[in-house]
Amino acid sequence: MLIGGLAALGWSAALVYYDVTRLRLPDWLTLPAVCLASAAILAWPVGLWGLAWPAAYLASGKGVGGGDVKLALPLGVVCAAVGGAGAVVAVVLLSSLFTLLGALVTRRAVLAHGPSMLVAAWLVALYGLCGPDL
């Protein structure tokens, strides 16, 4: 589990770097995670709740990029796997709050959303693994 956690942390750091410096989440980082998350849903059907996050982004039609939608799938599935539907609601709300706070602090109209998504997902997943049920 430690090696998997370290790999996920490295993946997260690479995504944050790319999104902050280029305002893009590259396919070569997001698509493998989408494939793994899709396979995980077969093993843990509770992961289906994780589909609500990218579905909400697709339904909104604006404000988020395609990379954010692709990133929302694996992050949503992981959060759903450790905390069910409540964890998915929590991660969506937290990531939005973090991006809003970042925009207020930096006074920028355009801000990378991926870092907020990743920080929120790490917090919710760790809480789901170590804390009480959501």
pLDDT 10s digits, 48-91: 999 999 999 999 877 789 999 999 999 999 999 999 999 999 99
Kindly indicate the confidence band of residue 131, based on its pLDDT and cuts at 50, 70 and 90: confident
H-helix segments, 44-130? 52-60, 66-106, 114-130
Task: List the structure tokens of 113.
Answer: 């959303």
- Quote the number of domains for the chain: 1
Domain with 98, as residue range(s), is: 1-130
Question: How many alpha carbons fall within 13 Å on the CB side of residue 55?
Answer: 9
pLDDT of res. 133: 60
pLDDT of res. 134: 53
Nearest to 78 by CA among 30, 130, 129: 129
Overall size of the chain counted in residues: 134
CA 89 to chain CA centroid, nearest Å: 12
